[in-house]
A and B are shown apart, each in its own frame.
Chain A
Amino acid sequence: MKRLCSLVCAFVVLLACTVTPLFAAGDSGNIPSQYTLGDQTMSINAGLFIPLFLLPTGTVLLAGSPPHLSLGGVGSLSWAAYVAPQIRIGAEIGGSFTFSPNLNALLMLPVIAKASYVFTLYPFEIPVTLGVGMNIISYVDQHYFDFLIRPGAAFYYIFNSSWSFGLNVNYWIDMQFSGSTSRTGNFLETSLTALYHY
């Protein structure tokens, strides 16, 4: 499992390093981005956190155990910088909550690095993102660091050169490693986003 984690981390770093020359020309067929190397963004997200299912970590099944968790909430702050007209990389810190059948709160504080490829179809932009990092998780008196992989996509309306607004959807793959009790939590985040370019 350590090898898998290391591979994923390496993949993200390599992706960020290698995509720069590949996409710098903006030849993807969509409208060229108006942003360039060095431009940055800040975004704020808030929305719903939807528990899907739990799987024994390391297995790939079509259906896992019911999550026994309620619909919750999620919010985050994100920063990113353009390394190419369509590529931005950055970091995000957030928080989510959901409740167990006995109303015990499951709290998560993810801290992730992420890379996005941005399709621009003016006046819309569609970033496709892969985030990897740690998830600080707390439940009653148990507190752990999980390994989080979070692919996602968003659909933004470009309001002006500084602001974009839209919908953000992320799939959380949150891995806990604990021998026979290892589980992977699968969650869906749907949030509204305000994105500021500077």
Chain B
Amino acid sequence: MKSRFALLLIAMLALIGALSACTANGGAIYATIETEKKIDVSTLDQTITVLDLLNVGSGQFPYLVAAGAVFKGTVPDVNNVIGWPNVGGSPIAVTPPVRGALCLAMTSFNSGIYGGFFTSDGSTMGLYKSVGSPGFSFAVADGATAVAAMAGKQITHLQVAGPILAPNLFAVVATPGTGTSGFTYELDYSADGSSFTATNLTGLTTQITGVGYLPFNSTYYVTSGPTLYSGAVLGSLISTSLGFTLANGEELRGVTVDGSYIFIPSSNGAVYYYNGTTWARATTTDEVNGRSVGFLTVSTHVDTAGSGVIYLVGADGLGFYTLNVTNNTLTKFSDVTVTGLYAGAVRRMLVDQTQNNTVFMGTAGTGLWRATFDPATGAVNSTWIHE
């Protein structure tokens, strides 16, 4: 009886093994591991959340990373290593306005670096213009400028947009409500970096996430919650249709302008883009934890020597996608071996075509990543480096 039972058990296990394995939909785990390349690591903290990312020119320190503290890095050397000045492996941060102050937003404007800071105890500080290279200090004692018009204000977003010869620095100012009411948001702008004027977008209850300007139709675009605002005059921005009905709860997450295109990533697995004539929408049905993947940012084009139709889209929890505007497709980054990026939330991207078409990807909580992309095809052509 026992031997019959044992034989039956053996037959069942063998059958299960055969049936479960011998299918066309089997795995490719070994093929994935076979091509896995070791990720190089640098000296930045690999758990930082990148809030903003800048290329400040072609000098010694062309990269600035706002991640609470602000870090500066040199161009890649002949060994493809970026120097992040450090002591004992710990990067030295750019000097903040006061000790412990955190940078929430950063951009370059009028040959200067602007940063929105608040102190580590949560009190607001305002907007600062740093000294120049190589120090980039934000401390007034070092020569930095505290922008008087923004003193004591909490700045959640900085972006530059406008005509090439007359750009504006935009600052989103968040004001805490009274009682149980949340923040309200206001969009201000400045032509000189010191005096600011409010647009008509004030008192908004949803975060203002992006500002862009399309030169050929002389129109500004602003995203806030589910609404796209546009207009030629910054005091008269009006709600504008994207040409598509947004899903319930869908939010617009920023504005990227590149060439003749404007891109708007959404929280519902879509990227809207406009070429001055019609709006298009690229979508994916991919989900994260049962919900549509949320897109966070769109890069400038990465096929910098090609036809300029390949863009990268940062995704919340799925790394990044490649957007091809020629055939309106979104393709997910599929290299599972780059774990921190593959499952990361990419919220800022920077394409530096002057440095071998290097792309930086700043994540929420899994650090800053770097690789070079083929300038003709826009595909990754190097190993990944975890800065």
Q: Determine if B34 and A9 form an interchain contact, defined as CB atoms under 8 angstroms apart.
A: no
Q: Cβ of A31 < 8 Å from any Cβ of B?
A: no
Chain A residues with Cβ below 8 Å from B6 are 16, 80-81, 83, 89-90
Chain A residues with Cβ below 8 Å from B28 are 142, 176, 178, 181-183
Least CB distance, B339 to chain A, in whole angstroms: 6
* From B26, B36, B336, contact of A101 by CB (8 A): B36
Q: Cβ of A112 < 8 Å from any Cβ of B?
A: yes
B9, B20, B27, B339: most-surrounded residue (chain A CB, <10 A): B27
Q: Determine if B33 and A69 form an interchain contact, defined as CB atoms under 8 angstroms apart.
A: yes
Interface of A is mostly: strand
Q: Closest B residue to A145 by CB, please name it.
A: B20
Chain A residues with Cβ below 8 Å from B18 are 2, 5-6, 8-9, 147
Least CB distance, B284 to chain A, in whole angstroms: 17
| A102-B36 CB under 8 A given contacts A140-B336, A175-B21, A177-B21 | yes
Contact with B along A82-104 (1 / 0, CB 8 A): 01000001110000000011101
Residues from 12 to 36 in B contacting A, C-beta threshold 8 Å: 12-18, 20-34, 36
Q: Cβ of A139 < 8 Å from any Cβ of B?
A: yes
Q: Determine if B7 and A17 form an interchain contact, defined as CB atoms under 8 angstroms apart.
A: yes
Least CB distance, B159 to chain A, in whole angstroms: 34
- Chain B interface residue bracket vs A: 35 or more
Q: Determine if A9 and B14 form an interchain contact, defined as CB atoms under 8 angstroms apart.
A: yes
Q: Cβ of B10 < 8 Å from any Cβ of A?
A: yes
Least CB distance, B149 to chain A, in whole angstroms: 48
Least CB distance, A20 to chain B, in whole angstroms: 8
Q: Determine if B27 and A54 form an interchain contact, defined as CB atoms under 8 angstroms apart.
A: no
Q: Cβ of A106 < 8 Å from any Cβ of B?
A: yes
Q: Closest B residue to A40 by CB, please name it.
A: B2
Q: Cβ of B3 < 8 Å from any Cβ of A?
A: yes
Contact with A along B39-81 (1 / 0, CB 8 A): 1000000000000000000000000000000000000000000
CA distance A147 to B14 in the complex (A): 9
User: Which of A119-127, A130-138, A160-168 lies on the face that meets chain B?
Assistant: A130-138
CA distance A37 to B12 in the complex (A): 21
Q: Cβ of A179 < 8 Å from any Cβ of B?
A: yes
CA distance A47 to B6 in the complex (A): 27
Q: Cβ of B368 < 8 Å from any Cβ of A?
A: no
Q: Cβ of B337 < 8 Å from any Cβ of A?
A: yes
Q: Determine if B17 and A112 form an interchain contact, defined as CB atoms under 8 angstroms apart.
A: yes
Residues from 313 to 343 in B contacting A, C-beta threshold 8 Å: 336-339, 342-343
Q: Cβ of B305 < 8 Å from any Cβ of A?
A: no
CA distance A69 to B58 in the complex (A): 41
Q: Cβ of A185 < 8 Å from any Cβ of B?
A: yes
Chain B residues with Cβ below 8 Å from A175 are 21
Q: Cβ of B37 < 8 Å from any Cβ of A?
A: yes
Chain B residues with Cβ below 8 Å from A145 are 17, 20-21, 26
CA distance A1 to B21 in the complex (A): 10
Q: Cβ of A44 < 8 Å from any Cβ of B?
A: no
Least CB distance, B39 to chain A, in whole angstroms: 5
| A141-B15 CB under 8 A given contacts A37-B3, A102-B38 | no
The 6 A-B pairs of least Cβ separation, nearest first, read A144-B27, A147-B21, A183-B30, A113-B10, A134-B17, A145-B20
Query: 25 A-B pairs, CB-CB below 8 angstroms?
Result: A2-B18, A6-B18, A9-B15, A9-B17, A13-B14, A54-B33, A81-B2, A89-B7, A101-B38, A102-B39, A111-B13, A111-B16, A133-B17, A134-B17, A137-B27, A139-B32, A140-B336, A142-B28, A142-B32, A146-B27, A147-B17, A148-B17, A176-B21, A178-B24, A182-B28
Instruction: Kindly list 13 other residue pairs between chains A and B, CB separation below 8 angstroms, not including A80-B6, A133-B14.
Output: A12-B14, A17-B7, A54-B34, A83-B3, A102-B36, A104-B339, A132-B17, A134-B17, A140-B342, A147-B18, A147-B22, A178-B26, A179-B24
Binding site for B on A (CB under 8 A): 1-2, 5-6, 8-9, 12-13, 16-17, 20, 37-38, 40, 54, 65, 67-69, 80-81, 83, 89-91, 100-102, 104, 106, 111-115, 132-135, 137, 139-148, 175-179, 181-185
